[in-house]
Homo-oligomer: A and B are copies of this chain.
Amino acid sequence: MSTFRYRCTDCRKEYGRDDVRYLCPACGAAWRPGMPLLGVLEAVFDTASLQGRIDKTRPDWSLLSAVEPRHFPPLTVGNTPLLAAPRLAASLKLGQLFLKNDGQNPSGSLKDRASFLVVAEALRLGESRVVAASTGNAASALAAVCASAGLEALIFVPEKAPRAKLVQMVMHGARLVPVKGTYDDAFALSLAFTQKRGGLNRNTAYHPLTIEGKKTVSLEVAQQLGFEPPDAVFVSVGDGVILAGVHKGFADLVAVGLLPRLPRLIAVQAEKSDAVHRFIRTGAYQNALAPTTVADSISVSCPSNAYWARRAVQETKGLSLTVTDEELLSAQRALAASSGVFAEPAAAAAYAGLQKLQAGPDALPATAKVVVLVTGHGLKDVDAALQSVTIPPAIEPTLDAVPV
Protein backbone atom coordinates (compact mmCIF):
# COMPACT_ATOMS: atom_id res chain seq x y z
CA MET A 1 0.00 0.00 0.00
CA SER A 2 1.02 3.52 -0.70
CA THR A 3 0.64 6.01 2.14
CA PHE A 4 -2.45 8.19 2.00
CA ARG A 5 -4.00 11.07 3.92
CA TYR A 6 -7.60 12.15 4.19
CA ARG A 7 -8.47 15.52 2.72
CA CYS A 8 -11.74 17.38 3.31
CA THR A 9 -13.54 17.87 0.02
CA ASP A 10 -14.90 21.18 1.38
CA CYS A 11 -12.12 23.00 3.33
CA ARG A 12 -9.19 20.97 1.88
CA LYS A 13 -7.69 20.40 5.30
CA GLU A 14 -5.69 17.13 5.56
CA TYR A 15 -5.70 14.47 8.28
CA GLY A 16 -3.69 11.32 9.06
CA ARG A 17 -5.60 8.08 8.44
CA ASP A 18 -6.13 7.42 12.13
CA ASP A 19 -6.71 11.01 13.17
CA VAL A 20 -10.25 11.06 11.82
CA ARG A 21 -12.86 8.43 11.05
CA TYR A 22 -15.84 9.88 9.22
CA LEU A 23 -16.43 13.51 8.19
CA CYS A 24 -14.00 16.41 8.47
CA PRO A 25 -14.42 17.47 12.12
CA ALA A 26 -14.56 21.13 11.19
CA CYS A 27 -16.93 21.01 8.21
CA GLY A 28 -18.92 17.99 9.35
CA ALA A 29 -19.95 19.76 12.55
CA ALA A 30 -22.25 21.96 10.48
CA TRP A 31 -24.05 18.96 8.99
CA ARG A 32 -27.58 18.09 10.07
CA PRO A 33 -29.79 15.16 8.99
CA GLY A 34 -31.86 16.08 5.96
CA MET A 35 -29.10 17.83 4.03
CA PRO A 36 -26.26 16.43 1.90
CA LEU A 37 -23.17 15.56 3.93
CA LEU A 38 -20.64 18.29 4.60
CA GLY A 39 -16.94 17.58 5.09
CA VAL A 40 -16.84 14.29 3.14
CA LEU A 41 -13.25 13.06 3.22
CA GLU A 42 -11.23 11.95 0.22
CA ALA A 43 -8.28 9.53 0.52
CA VAL A 44 -5.32 11.22 -1.14
CA PHE A 45 -2.50 8.93 -2.22
CA ASP A 46 1.06 9.98 -2.94
CA THR A 47 0.39 9.62 -6.66
CA ALA A 48 3.58 11.42 -7.65
CA SER A 49 5.64 8.61 -6.13
CA LEU A 50 3.51 6.03 -7.98
CA GLN A 51 4.19 7.46 -11.46
CA GLY A 52 5.45 4.62 -13.63
CA ARG A 53 5.38 2.13 -10.73
CA ILE A 54 2.16 0.29 -11.66
CA ASP A 55 2.65 -2.29 -14.39
CA LYS A 56 -0.14 -2.07 -16.98
CA THR A 57 0.03 -5.76 -17.79
CA ARG A 58 -0.24 -6.88 -14.16
CA PRO A 59 -1.32 -3.89 -12.12
CA ASP A 60 -0.82 -4.16 -8.36
CA TRP A 61 -3.92 -2.30 -7.22
CA SER A 62 -2.92 -2.65 -3.59
CA LEU A 63 -0.76 0.42 -4.28
CA LEU A 64 -4.00 2.39 -4.60
CA SER A 65 -5.83 0.62 -1.76
CA ALA A 66 -6.49 2.47 1.49
CA VAL A 67 -6.43 -0.79 3.48
CA GLU A 68 -3.61 -3.31 3.35
CA PRO A 69 -4.50 -6.66 1.72
CA ARG A 70 -3.58 -8.52 4.92
CA HIS A 71 -6.79 -7.14 6.44
CA PHE A 72 -9.03 -8.16 3.54
CA PRO A 73 -12.01 -10.41 4.42
CA PRO A 74 -12.21 -13.87 2.79
CA LEU A 75 -15.11 -13.05 0.46
CA THR A 76 -13.70 -11.95 -2.89
CA VAL A 77 -15.53 -9.12 -4.61
CA GLY A 78 -15.15 -7.25 -7.89
CA ASN A 79 -13.26 -8.55 -10.92
CA THR A 80 -16.58 -8.60 -12.72
CA PRO A 81 -16.82 -8.99 -16.50
CA LEU A 82 -16.72 -6.06 -18.90
CA LEU A 83 -18.97 -7.35 -21.63
CA ALA A 84 -18.97 -6.16 -25.23
CA ALA A 85 -22.56 -5.62 -26.38
CA PRO A 86 -22.29 -5.40 -30.17
CA ARG A 87 -26.03 -5.78 -30.84
CA LEU A 88 -26.94 -2.95 -28.49
CA ALA A 89 -24.09 -0.79 -29.84
CA ALA A 90 -25.46 -1.16 -33.36
CA SER A 91 -29.01 -0.33 -32.29
CA LEU A 92 -27.78 2.84 -30.55
CA LYS A 93 -25.40 3.90 -33.35
CA LEU A 94 -22.34 3.69 -31.16
CA GLY A 95 -18.86 2.53 -32.09
CA GLN A 96 -18.42 0.30 -29.06
CA LEU A 97 -20.60 -0.41 -26.05
CA PHE A 98 -19.44 -2.27 -22.97
CA LEU A 99 -21.46 -3.37 -19.95
CA LYS A 100 -19.59 -3.57 -16.67
CA ASN A 101 -21.69 -6.22 -14.97
CA ASP A 102 -21.36 -5.64 -11.26
CA GLY A 103 -24.49 -7.70 -10.69
CA GLN A 104 -22.07 -10.63 -10.74
CA ASN A 105 -20.62 -9.67 -7.39
CA PRO A 106 -21.27 -12.23 -4.61
CA SER A 107 -24.29 -10.44 -3.12
CA GLY A 108 -25.40 -9.24 -6.55
CA SER A 109 -24.42 -5.57 -6.54
CA LEU A 110 -21.56 -3.10 -6.80
CA LYS A 111 -22.04 -2.31 -3.11
CA ASP A 112 -19.94 -5.37 -2.28
CA ARG A 113 -16.90 -3.27 -3.19
CA ALA A 114 -17.58 -0.63 -0.52
CA SER A 115 -18.57 -3.16 2.13
CA PHE A 116 -15.43 -5.15 1.42
CA LEU A 117 -13.13 -2.21 2.06
CA VAL A 118 -14.97 -0.93 5.15
CA VAL A 119 -15.00 -4.43 6.66
CA ALA A 120 -11.27 -4.64 5.94
CA GLU A 121 -10.93 -1.34 7.82
CA ALA A 122 -12.99 -2.75 10.70
CA LEU A 123 -10.64 -5.73 10.87
CA ARG A 124 -7.64 -3.38 10.88
CA LEU A 125 -9.16 -1.32 13.68
CA GLY A 126 -10.31 -4.35 15.69
CA GLU A 127 -13.98 -3.30 15.52
CA SER A 128 -16.34 -6.26 15.84
CA ARG A 129 -19.53 -4.56 14.66
CA VAL A 130 -20.24 -2.67 11.45
CA VAL A 131 -23.42 -0.57 11.23
CA ALA A 132 -25.15 0.72 8.14
CA ALA A 133 -28.25 2.33 6.75
CA SER A 134 -29.14 1.28 3.25
CA THR A 135 -31.86 1.14 0.63
CA GLY A 136 -31.05 -2.58 0.48
CA ASN A 137 -28.00 -3.39 -1.60
CA ALA A 138 -25.35 -1.84 0.64
CA ALA A 139 -26.86 -3.71 3.56
CA SER A 140 -27.03 -7.09 1.86
CA ALA A 141 -23.43 -6.54 0.76
CA LEU A 142 -22.39 -5.65 4.29
CA ALA A 143 -24.20 -8.69 5.66
CA ALA A 144 -22.40 -11.00 3.22
CA VAL A 145 -18.93 -9.56 3.80
CA CYS A 146 -19.37 -9.47 7.60
CA ALA A 147 -20.48 -13.11 7.50
CA SER A 148 -17.29 -14.09 5.71
CA ALA A 149 -15.17 -12.13 8.20
CA GLY A 150 -16.98 -13.19 11.36
CA LEU A 151 -18.10 -9.65 12.25
CA GLU A 152 -21.53 -8.51 13.33
CA ALA A 153 -23.53 -6.47 10.80
CA LEU A 154 -26.23 -4.20 12.21
CA ILE A 155 -28.48 -2.86 9.52
CA PHE A 156 -31.16 -0.18 9.29
CA VAL A 157 -33.33 -0.32 6.17
CA PRO A 158 -36.61 1.24 5.10
CA GLU A 159 -39.31 -1.38 5.73
CA LYS A 160 -40.33 -1.21 2.05
CA ALA A 161 -36.96 -2.51 0.79
CA PRO A 162 -37.40 -5.36 -1.72
CA ARG A 163 -37.97 -8.66 0.01
CA ALA A 164 -35.07 -10.44 -1.69
CA LYS A 165 -32.63 -7.93 -0.22
CA LEU A 166 -34.12 -8.35 3.27
CA VAL A 167 -33.86 -12.13 2.92
CA GLN A 168 -30.19 -11.81 1.99
CA MET A 169 -29.46 -9.80 5.13
CA VAL A 170 -31.19 -12.26 7.43
CA MET A 171 -29.64 -15.31 5.73
CA HIS A 172 -26.19 -13.82 6.21
CA GLY A 173 -26.90 -13.52 9.92
CA ALA A 174 -27.09 -9.74 10.14
CA ARG A 175 -29.04 -7.98 12.88
CA LEU A 176 -31.71 -6.43 10.70
CA VAL A 177 -33.77 -3.45 11.88
CA PRO A 178 -36.45 -2.44 9.36
CA VAL A 179 -37.45 1.18 9.93
CA LYS A 180 -40.88 2.74 9.41
CA GLY A 181 -39.73 5.51 7.11
CA THR A 182 -37.42 6.32 4.24
CA TYR A 183 -33.76 5.65 3.51
CA ASP A 184 -33.08 9.12 4.90
CA ASP A 185 -34.73 8.14 8.22
CA ALA A 186 -32.66 4.95 8.37
CA PHE A 187 -29.52 6.97 7.63
CA ALA A 188 -30.11 9.38 10.51
CA LEU A 189 -30.97 6.56 12.90
CA SER A 190 -27.82 4.60 12.08
CA LEU A 191 -25.67 7.67 12.81
CA ALA A 192 -27.42 8.19 16.13
CA PHE A 193 -26.83 4.53 16.91
CA THR A 194 -23.06 4.50 16.34
CA GLN A 195 -22.63 7.82 18.16
CA LYS A 196 -24.35 6.45 21.26
CA ARG A 197 -23.66 2.73 21.14
CA GLY A 198 -20.51 2.26 19.04
CA GLY A 199 -19.48 0.09 16.10
CA LEU A 200 -17.96 1.23 12.82
CA ASN A 201 -20.47 3.13 10.70
CA ARG A 202 -20.36 2.14 7.03
CA ASN A 203 -22.84 4.70 5.76
CA THR A 204 -22.13 5.61 2.25
CA ALA A 205 -19.89 8.72 1.86
CA TYR A 206 -20.06 9.20 5.66
CA HIS A 207 -17.30 6.58 5.87
CA PRO A 208 -14.75 7.78 3.31
CA LEU A 209 -13.64 4.25 2.40
CA THR A 210 -17.02 3.51 0.82
CA ILE A 211 -15.87 5.80 -2.00
CA GLU A 212 -12.46 4.12 -2.11
CA GLY A 213 -14.10 0.70 -2.33
CA LYS A 214 -16.34 1.78 -5.17
CA LYS A 215 -13.45 3.31 -7.11
CA THR A 216 -12.11 -0.20 -7.82
CA VAL A 217 -14.74 -0.56 -10.53
CA SER A 218 -12.96 2.17 -12.52
CA LEU A 219 -9.55 0.57 -12.03
CA GLU A 220 -10.97 -2.64 -13.50
CA VAL A 221 -12.74 -0.96 -16.41
CA ALA A 222 -9.54 0.87 -17.37
CA GLN A 223 -7.52 -2.33 -17.20
CA GLN A 224 -10.16 -4.30 -19.15
CA LEU A 225 -10.01 -1.64 -21.89
CA GLY A 226 -6.22 -1.84 -22.06
CA PHE A 227 -5.92 1.62 -20.45
CA GLU A 228 -7.54 3.27 -23.47
CA PRO A 229 -10.21 5.34 -21.73
CA PRO A 230 -13.82 5.20 -22.90
CA ASP A 231 -15.43 8.41 -24.12
CA ALA A 232 -18.27 8.21 -21.64
CA VAL A 233 -19.35 6.17 -18.63
CA PHE A 234 -23.05 6.04 -17.69
CA VAL A 235 -23.82 5.70 -13.99
CA SER A 236 -27.18 5.38 -12.21
CA VAL A 237 -27.23 7.93 -9.41
CA GLY A 238 -29.08 7.89 -6.10
CA ASP A 239 -27.02 9.42 -3.29
CA GLY A 240 -24.07 10.10 -5.62
CA VAL A 241 -21.54 7.84 -3.94
CA ILE A 242 -21.06 5.38 -6.79
CA LEU A 243 -20.57 8.32 -9.13
CA ALA A 244 -17.99 9.78 -6.72
CA GLY A 245 -16.22 6.43 -6.50
CA VAL A 246 -16.14 6.05 -10.28
CA HIS A 247 -14.74 9.58 -10.57
CA LYS A 248 -12.13 8.96 -7.87
CA GLY A 249 -10.94 5.78 -9.57
CA PHE A 250 -10.41 7.42 -12.94
CA ALA A 251 -8.83 10.47 -11.30
CA ASP A 252 -6.33 8.27 -9.45
CA LEU A 253 -5.48 6.51 -12.73
CA VAL A 254 -4.81 9.83 -14.42
CA ALA A 255 -2.76 11.00 -11.44
CA VAL A 256 -0.46 7.97 -11.54
CA GLY A 257 -0.08 8.21 -15.31
CA LEU A 258 -2.06 5.10 -16.28
CA LEU A 259 -4.77 7.01 -18.16
CA PRO A 260 -4.26 10.03 -20.42
CA ARG A 261 -7.58 11.66 -19.52
CA LEU A 262 -10.85 11.27 -17.62
CA PRO A 263 -13.87 9.83 -19.43
CA ARG A 264 -17.04 11.93 -19.42
CA LEU A 265 -19.24 10.81 -16.55
CA ILE A 266 -22.96 10.76 -17.31
CA ALA A 267 -25.23 10.78 -14.26
CA VAL A 268 -28.68 9.24 -14.68
CA GLN A 269 -31.38 9.64 -12.05
CA ALA A 270 -34.99 8.57 -11.77
CA GLU A 271 -37.26 11.47 -12.63
CA LYS A 272 -38.84 11.56 -9.18
CA SER A 273 -35.57 11.14 -7.28
CA ASP A 274 -33.62 13.85 -9.03
CA ALA A 275 -31.96 16.01 -6.37
CA VAL A 276 -28.47 15.49 -7.81
CA HIS A 277 -29.68 16.15 -11.35
CA ARG A 278 -31.32 19.43 -10.43
CA PHE A 279 -28.27 20.47 -8.42
CA ILE A 280 -26.02 19.81 -11.42
CA ARG A 281 -28.33 21.64 -13.80
CA THR A 282 -29.14 24.66 -11.65
CA GLY A 283 -26.36 24.95 -9.05
CA ALA A 284 -29.04 25.32 -6.38
CA TYR A 285 -29.49 22.36 -4.06
CA GLN A 286 -32.91 21.11 -2.94
CA ASN A 287 -34.01 17.70 -1.59
CA ALA A 288 -36.23 15.53 -3.78
CA LEU A 289 -39.63 15.89 -2.17
CA ALA A 290 -41.30 12.61 -3.06
CA PRO A 291 -38.69 10.15 -4.32
CA THR A 292 -41.12 7.46 -5.44
CA THR A 293 -39.59 5.25 -8.10
CA VAL A 294 -39.58 1.54 -8.87
CA ALA A 295 -35.78 1.89 -8.87
CA ASP A 296 -35.52 1.51 -5.10
CA SER A 297 -31.71 1.54 -4.99
CA ILE A 298 -31.62 5.11 -6.28
CA SER A 299 -34.70 6.38 -4.44
CA VAL A 300 -33.25 9.10 -2.20
CA SER A 301 -34.66 12.39 -0.94
CA CYS A 302 -31.36 13.78 0.30
CA PRO A 303 -28.30 12.45 -1.56
CA SER A 304 -25.39 12.27 0.88
CA ASN A 305 -22.72 12.89 -1.75
CA ALA A 306 -24.46 15.55 -3.85
CA TYR A 307 -21.46 17.91 -3.90
CA TRP A 308 -18.94 15.35 -5.15
CA ALA A 309 -21.47 14.00 -7.66
CA ARG A 310 -21.84 17.48 -9.16
CA ARG A 311 -18.06 17.91 -9.23
CA ALA A 312 -17.62 14.53 -10.98
CA VAL A 313 -19.89 15.59 -13.81
CA GLN A 314 -18.44 19.09 -14.08
CA GLU A 315 -14.76 18.09 -14.00
CA THR A 316 -15.27 15.44 -16.66
CA LYS A 317 -17.42 17.66 -18.90
CA GLY A 318 -20.12 15.05 -18.48
CA LEU A 319 -23.82 15.60 -18.16
CA SER A 320 -26.88 14.67 -16.19
CA LEU A 321 -30.17 13.12 -17.28
CA THR A 322 -33.36 11.79 -15.74
CA VAL A 323 -35.51 8.89 -16.88
CA THR A 324 -39.05 7.90 -16.02
CA ASP A 325 -39.97 4.60 -14.44
CA GLU A 326 -41.45 3.51 -17.77
CA GLU A 327 -38.19 4.32 -19.52
CA LEU A 328 -36.04 2.46 -17.05
CA LEU A 329 -38.29 -0.62 -17.02
CA SER A 330 -38.25 -0.60 -20.82
CA ALA A 331 -34.45 -0.31 -20.73
CA GLN A 332 -34.33 -3.24 -18.32
CA ARG A 333 -36.17 -5.41 -20.85
CA ALA A 334 -34.04 -4.25 -23.77
CA LEU A 335 -30.82 -4.90 -21.90
CA ALA A 336 -31.93 -8.38 -20.79
CA ALA A 337 -33.29 -9.36 -24.19
CA SER A 338 -30.36 -8.13 -26.28
CA SER A 339 -27.29 -8.58 -24.09
CA GLY A 340 -28.12 -11.37 -21.64
CA VAL A 341 -27.60 -9.03 -18.67
CA PHE A 342 -30.56 -8.85 -16.26
CA ALA A 343 -30.20 -5.60 -14.30
CA GLU A 344 -32.30 -4.46 -11.38
CA PRO A 345 -34.42 -1.38 -12.22
CA ALA A 346 -31.99 1.10 -10.63
CA ALA A 347 -29.13 -0.45 -12.57
CA ALA A 348 -31.08 -0.24 -15.83
CA ALA A 349 -31.49 3.52 -15.32
CA ALA A 350 -27.96 4.09 -16.65
CA TYR A 351 -28.81 2.23 -19.86
CA ALA A 352 -32.13 4.09 -20.10
CA GLY A 353 -30.17 7.33 -19.96
CA LEU A 354 -27.96 6.20 -22.82
CA GLN A 355 -31.02 5.24 -24.88
CA LYS A 356 -32.57 8.64 -24.20
CA LEU A 357 -29.41 10.54 -25.09
CA GLN A 358 -28.98 8.63 -28.34
CA ALA A 359 -32.56 9.40 -29.34
CA GLY A 360 -32.09 13.16 -28.99
CA PRO A 361 -30.08 16.05 -30.44
CA ASP A 362 -27.08 15.49 -28.13
CA ALA A 363 -26.47 11.88 -29.20
CA LEU A 364 -22.92 10.62 -28.83
CA PRO A 365 -21.21 10.17 -32.21
CA ALA A 366 -21.03 6.86 -34.08
CA THR A 367 -17.36 6.60 -33.14
CA ALA A 368 -18.00 6.78 -29.40
CA LYS A 369 -16.74 4.12 -27.02
CA VAL A 370 -19.18 3.89 -24.14
CA VAL A 371 -19.33 1.98 -20.85
CA VAL A 372 -22.59 1.43 -18.98
CA LEU A 373 -22.23 0.44 -15.36
CA VAL A 374 -24.71 -2.29 -14.33
CA THR A 375 -24.79 -1.85 -10.58
CA GLY A 376 -27.14 -4.63 -9.43
CA HIS A 377 -28.68 -7.94 -10.54
CA GLY A 378 -32.31 -8.22 -11.66
CA LEU A 379 -32.82 -11.13 -9.27
CA LYS A 380 -32.64 -8.54 -6.47
CA ASP A 381 -36.21 -7.47 -7.28
CA VAL A 382 -38.31 -9.75 -9.43
CA ASP A 383 -41.52 -8.02 -8.33
CA ALA A 384 -40.34 -4.88 -10.08
CA ALA A 385 -39.55 -6.86 -13.23
CA LEU A 386 -43.03 -8.35 -13.12
CA GLN A 387 -44.47 -4.87 -13.56
CA SER A 388 -43.44 -5.03 -17.19
CA VAL A 389 -43.45 -8.69 -18.23
CA THR A 390 -45.99 -11.50 -17.98
CA ILE A 391 -45.46 -15.20 -17.38
CA PRO A 392 -47.57 -17.13 -19.89
CA PRO A 393 -50.16 -19.68 -18.71
CA ALA A 394 -49.23 -23.35 -18.35
CA ILE A 395 -50.21 -25.89 -21.04
CA GLU A 396 -50.96 -29.61 -20.95
CA PRO A 397 -47.79 -31.62 -21.69
CA THR A 398 -48.68 -32.50 -25.28
CA LEU A 399 -47.19 -31.28 -28.53
CA ASP A 400 -50.55 -30.09 -29.81
CA ALA A 401 -50.88 -27.74 -26.86
CA VAL A 402 -47.63 -25.91 -27.65
CA PRO A 403 -48.43 -22.49 -29.14
CA VAL A 404 -47.01 -22.09 -32.64
> Which one of A34-42, A181-189, A204-212, A235-243 is at the interface?
A181-189
Instruction: Count residues of chain A with CB under 8 A from any CB of chain B.
Output: 77
Chain B residues contacting A87 (CB-CB under 8 Å) are 74, 148, 150
> Which one of A55-63, A164-172, A273-281, A316-324 is at the interface?
A164-172
Query: For the complex, is A397 an interface residue (Cβ under 8 Å from B)?
Result: yes
Shortest distance from the beta carbon of A173 to any chain B beta carbon, whole Å: 3
* CB 8 Å contact bits of A328-340 with B (1 = contact, 0 = none): 0000110011111
Shortest distance from the beta carbon of A251 to any chain B beta carbon, whole Å: 28
Chain B residues contacting A178 (CB-CB under 8 Å) are 391-395
Instruction: Contact check, B180 vs A397: say whether CB atoms are below 8 A apart.
Output: yes
Query: For the complex, is A396 an interface residue (Cβ under 8 Å from B)?
Result: yes
In residues 385-401 of chain A, which contact B (Cβ within 8 Å)?
385-386, 389-399
Instruction: Contact check, A402 vs B177: say whether CB atoms are below 8 A apart.
Output: yes
Query: For the complex, is A192 an interface residue (Cβ under 8 Å from B)?
Result: yes
Query: For the complex, is A378 an interface residue (Cβ under 8 Å from B)?
Result: yes
Chain B residues contacting A83 (CB-CB under 8 Å) are 74-76, 148
Shortest distance from the beta carbon of A367 to any chain B beta carbon, whole Å: 21
Query: For the complex, is A225 an interface residue (Cβ under 8 Å from B)?
Result: no
In the assembled complex, the Cα of A103 lies from the Cα of B159 at a distance in Å of 27
Chain B residues contacting A385 (CB-CB under 8 Å) are 167, 171
In the assembled complex, the Cα of A122 lies from the Cα of B85 at a distance in Å of 19
> Which one of A6-14, A105-113, A252-260, A286-294 is at the interface?
A105-113
Instruction: Contact check, B171 vs A378: say whether CB atoms are below 8 A apart.
Output: yes
Chain B residues contacting A147 (CB-CB under 8 Å) are 336-340
* CB 8 Å contact bits of A118-135 with B (1 = contact, 0 = none): 000000000000000000
Query: For the complex, is A176 an interface residue (Cβ under 8 Å from B)?
Result: yes
In the assembled complex, the Cα of A109 lies from the Cα of B324 at a distance in Å of 32
A396: nearest chain-B partner, CB-CB: B180
Query: For the complex, is A283 an interface residue (Cβ under 8 Å from B)?
Result: no
A388: nearest chain-B partner, CB-CB: B171
Chain B residues contacting A159 (CB-CB under 8 Å) are 394
Give me 7 A-to-B residue pairs in the complex whose CB atoms sit less than 8 angstroms apart, sorted by A's number: A76-B81, A81-B106, A87-B150, A164-B382, A172-B340, A377-B379, A379-B380
